[in-house]
Every structure is written in C-alpha cells, then in structure tokens.
Structure 1
Amino acid sequence: MPRSLPAGLLALGLFTVTFAVNLQAPLYDAYAVESDVGATAVTLAFAAYVGGLMPTLLLLGGLSDRIGRRGPVALALILGAAATALLVQVPGWTSLVIARVLLGIGTGLATTAGTAYMTEILGADRARTAALIVTSATSLGFGGGALATGISLGLQGPTLLPASYIVLFVIAPTLAVIALVLPRVDAPRPVSLLRLPVFPVGTWMFGAAMALAWSTTGMTIAVVPLELAANDLGGWTGLV
C-alpha cells in the first residue's frame, strides 16, 4: 500500500475528530435557551472540553505506545459521534458539558496517537511533513465544524439536527473502522501511561503566551455565538 493512502486516511480521520469539536458552536444559543442559562454557563460548558483534554494528555499520553496507534484514533472518532448524538437526543446545557468533556477526551487520544502514527507512516526522515499534515488537518477541522453547521442552519433554518451532524454520524464510524484496518507500523512498548509535561529551560514565556491565546480564544468562541444570536445574526456564527 502506498504511504500516501494511509497518510491521507489518517489525516481525514484527524480532521473529523476536530471537526466534531466545534460542530455545535452555532447552536450554543439554542442549548442555552433549552436550559435557561446565560453566557457564563455556556462559557463553563465550553471550558469542559479542557476538563476532558488535559487529564487524557497527562494520564493516557502513553496509551498509543502500549496498545498501538489505531485504537485511540478510532475511539476518538466514536467519541466525537457519541458526543454529538447526545446533543441531538438531549439538547441542553448539561448535555453540552458532557459532550465537551467527551470531545476533549477524543482530541487528547487522537492528537497523541495521530502525530506519532503519521510520522511512522511517512518515515522519520519526513517528520516535519508529518507534523505539518497533522497540524493542517486538525486546524481545518476545528474551524470547519462550526462553519459546516452554520451553513447547514442557513440552508435548513432553525433545527437541532443540522445536516453537518448527519454527515458526522455517517463519516465518523466509517473512518473509525478504516482506522482499525490501516497498516500497523508501530511496535507496542511497555511504557508508562502517565506523561508529565516537560518545560525546557527558557520556554516559560512561550507557554504563557499560548495559555493567554487559548484563554482568549475560548472566551471568544463561547460568547460570540450568544452575542450574534442576541442581535439576530445567529446565521453568521459558523463563518465568524
């Protein structure tokens, strides 16, 4: 099998995992109304994503080294679909919190396994290319999910089951199965699941800058949909 095919399928899988993360952003206002909560509650729900992401990165960072790369990627895809299905079945603030936690767990599993897997598929001599592909796929996914739901709502009108959700329900399980049959190029190792963060000397300012940037981004993504909806501009949420 040519390397480009499994690399492309893996990139599509990573795109889909992050596609699911912000898929629900244009419907934040609808979920807030369902539970009669305000901007603060929605911001907390958005932050629940980190509550799933960080423990996964720290406590399960070595999982893909122990069991292989394919399983964590497949599980991440299923978690994305399950989180979205929960919001369809039980729309509201509580479901949004649970969904965001599940999405955080999925992202943590996919990013730790996906980057290593892409490097192994392409070869160590193309590590920079592998990192670029993973970064591009995930970045496009984070923005593409919200945009897809925004477009869906614009075409369908108000609904809690936009076409973008349906697309995810079809694609995610399919890619999960494909992920499990991709070629295995890693050798499982008996390493610790725990992966503590490493801070090289002199890098604290970069960490602080990223923390501030992520905080600002989180507040913006959580609040802007509510403000747009309050001004009858909810249809622009996905594009924004």
Structure 2
Amino acid sequence: MAGDCTTTSRRGGFALALAATILTMAAASAPSLFYPQVAERLGLLPVATTLVFAVYAFTLLAALLCLGSVSDRLGRRPVIATGSLVLAGSLLLFWSAGSLATLLVARALQGAAAGVLVPAMSAMLIDFEPPSRPGSAALWNTIGPMLGLATGALGAAVLLDVTADPSLAVFGVLVAAFAAVAALVWATPEAVARTRVRHGDLRPAFSVPPGVRPMLAAGVPAIVAGWATNGLFLALGAGLVRSELGGTTHTAAGVVISTLAIAGILASRLLQQHSARTISLYATSALALGTALSLGALALHSYPGYVASVAVVGSGFGTAFLGVLRTIMPATQPSQRAAVMAVVYTVAYLAFGVPTIIAGLLVPALTLAGTMMLLGAAIAVLAVVATILRARIPDRTPSRARGEDTKNRRP
C-alpha cells in the first residue's frame, strides 16, 4: 500500500509540475493580447508597450541566473509555492494597472517569479519522471512551455472576443490557478534535502570551456534569430494582425501566436531522433525561409499567407534551441553544464527582449509594418549566417566525445 501511495504521489508531482509549467508560459503570452487595448486605454507610445514586454524578459533572466538553482537548496515545494503566489500577485497588479509604472512593476514581478519557477518545475519533472517512461521529462520540458504559449495566446484571444469581461475571465482564472498550485504543491513529496543557501550560490557563473566556444559561437546567430522572432511576435503580433493584415477579431491574432508555438512542438517531436546537425540546419533554414515568406505576406496584406509563413517560422524557432543544445552539450562536462546554460540563456533572453525595445523606438518613424519588415530582414540574414556556420561543424559522435573528455582529464 505504501508503494502505491508513493507511486501515486510521484505521478501527482509530475502532473502538477507539468501543469504549472504550462500555466507559467500561458501567463507569459496571455497579456500580449491585451497590449493594444491597454495601450489605447492609457495612451501609451509604442516604445512603452514594448518596454512593458521587455522588462519581463530581463527580470526573468536576472532571476534565472541568480536564483535558478535555489530549489536545489531550499527544496522544490517552498520555491514553487512562493513563486506561484508572487506570480498570482503580479497578474492581479497587471489586471488593475492604471499607469505605465504599475504595468512595469507587474511585468517585472512576473518575470522574476517565472525565473524562479521555470527551473524549479523543470527539476521537479525530472525528479518525478515515471521509471517506465525514461526521457519523458526531457520531452515535456521541451513541449510544455510551447504548449503554454499557444494555450495562453489562443485562450486569451477567444475570451476577448466572446466574453463581456475578458480581463476577469483571463486574469481571474490564472490568479486562481496559481493560488491552487501554491497550495497543492505541499501535497507532493519533497525530493530535495534542504541545505543552507550561501551568498556565493546566488552569484551567476559565466564560463564556456575552450572546446565548446567555437560550437557555441556558431550557434549564437541561431539562438538570436529564434528568440528575437518569438519576442517580436509576442510583443507586436496582435497589433500587426489588426493594423496590417485585416484582423477584425482578437482570435485572429491569437491564431498567429499559437501557430508559432504549435509548429514548434510538432517540429521538435518529428526531428528529435535526428542528428544535432540535421536539426540545426533545418531550424536555421526554416527561420530564414519562413521569415522571408512572412515579409512577402505582410507586403501583400495576406492574413492566410502570413499564418502559413508563421508555421514555417515556428518550426524553426521550436528546433533552433534544441539543435544548439544537442550540438554543445555532448562536448560539455557535467560540472560545466550549468555555467554554459547560463551563457546560453543570457543570449536567448537578451535576444528575446532587446529587439522589442528597438522595435518600439522604430515604430513612430517607420510604422509597425516598416519596423517588422526591417527587423524581419535582419532576422532572415542572421538565420542564413547561422545555417552557413552550422554547416561547417560536423556532429560529435559519442565515441569522439568520450575520447576527448578522457584526454582532457589527463594531467
């Protein structure tokens, strides 16, 4: 009976971690559909709207680097409970915001909470991975965030169109859901022994081994192209669909963002068994081609063409990060992986946030369509460069990786 209870508790822990991961990313994308409405109500300039979006990425990155490993010391349950309550509070603040300052504080708190929650929930998925399904934690750690992005965007869009009080429907449900996560997590087993958190544990570590640097340098353009694309879609996609593509409903904008995420999920599943080189070359090629097609659809003001091109872009975004990690991780020692991932995530979230601020500065001079054309062209060129750089790097085989690791350990 005790064994059955343990198994049931582990299954509950896995399910809760997955649900919380999806909810966290849904909470990240859902506010994007409200940006045009909030900007109009508060009279915000385009740069202000993109700053509200970007502050989420920057505070998430800071929390991820400084507090990302804190659940390894304090335990999963207190970290997830605290992070969930802070995130619920940030959504309440966003919901009731009456000024730009309040919006910035709300999104900053949300980013900080997500930066603590994401690694804790990812670790919890690994802690409670079913022994009968090895590898399922890695799969859901890849698919869960994209599923959350799609669910949040499309769900918020539909509710904006069909409910009299969409803010209550979206933010009320999310606040209640995170409050429930904060309570339910205490019913799961604790997989981590609590230890003291030292000041040095909160200091970000940036280090890339010499043998990994050429591979990471070749992958940086792919990371930047993929994450910049995602950031621009979330920050400006709703306004673009409405002003340039004839979208008359919020659902039209939600379809674009969810298509990006769903295409990424499908591409990751279909290509996961292929080599790192194949995944990377597909990703960068799809980003370049899809972005070029999206610029053509934008020039023609074709919403169907734009959605089709976004599916191509999304398949590239969903596999670009996977390809880079599959390229560099076999060459990275276990003791070096956290530091390398800190560098990777720093590049990713800078690419996620900085281009949106640039876009906000450019919109008054170039219009929204002109800004997306310019930045889209830059992303397409970057993706082509990424394709060329990755094509020059052969795949590491397991035997080669082990041989080099052994060689590196010799005195």
* TM beyond 0.5: yes
Task: Report 1:46-65 matches (<5 A).
Answer: 46-65=53-72
Q: Mark the runs of 5 or more structure 2 residues left unpaired by the alignment.
A: 1-5, 257-411
Shift of residue 92, structure 1, vs aligned partner: 4.5
Secondary structure at the residue paired with 2:194? coil
Q: Does 1:76 align with 2:83?
A: yes
Match in the other structure for 1:36: 43
Matched pairs, number: 239
Q: Is the 8 A contact 1:31 1:93 kept in 2?
A: no
Label 1:57 to 1:99 Cα distance change in 2 as closer, same or farther (>3 A): same
- Select the structure with the greater relative contact order (CA < 8 A; seq sep ≥ 6): 1
Residue 161 (str. 1) matches residue 167 (str. 2):
yes
Would the alpha carbon gap of residues 124 and 188 (structure 1) be closer, same or farther in structure 2, given more than 3 Å must change?
Answer: farther
Q: Residue by residue, what CA displacement relative to the aligned partner does 1:84-142 show, whole Å, maximum 9, x if unpaired?
A: 21122124433332222122112211121112222122279966321212222222112
CA contact (8 A) 1:29 1:225 kept: yes
% identical equivalent positions: 26
Pick which of 171-180 and 119-128 moved more.
119-128
Q: Distance in 2 between matches of 1:110 and 1:118?
A: 12
Deviation, structure 1 residue 228: 3.0
Q: Which has the higher helix share?
A: 2
Equivalent of 1:239 in 246, 255, 259 = 255
TM-score (norm 2): 0.54
Taking the aligned partners of 1:121 and 1:65, their CA distance within structure 2 comes to: 15
- The structure-2 alpha-carbon separation of the partners of 1:155 and 1:108, relative to structure 1 and needing over 3 Å to count, comes to same
Radius of gyration: which is bigger? 2
The answer on 1:13 being equivalent to 2:15 is: no
Q: 8 Å contact 1:152–1:163 — kept in the other structure?
A: yes
**8 Å CA contact 1:149, 1:162 repeated in 2:** no
Superposed counterparts of 1:1-240, under 5 Å: 1-2=6-7, 3-122=10-129, 128-157=135-164, 159=165, 161-190=167-196, 192-200=201-209, 201=212, 202-230=215-243, 231=246, 233-235=248-250, 236-240=252-256
Query: Residues 19 and 119 from structure 1, CA distance in 2 versus in 1: closer, same or farther, beyond 3 angstroms?
Result: same
Post-superposition offset of 1:176: 1.1
- Distance 1:164-1:27 versus aligned 2 partners, 3 A rule: same
Aligned pair in 2 of structure 1 residues 126, 65: CA closer, same or farther (>3 Å)? farther
CA deviation string 1:147-167 (max 9, x = no partner): 11111111115x462412221
**Which sits farther off after the overlay, 191-200 or 105-114?**
191-200
Structure 1: runs of 5 or more not aligned: none
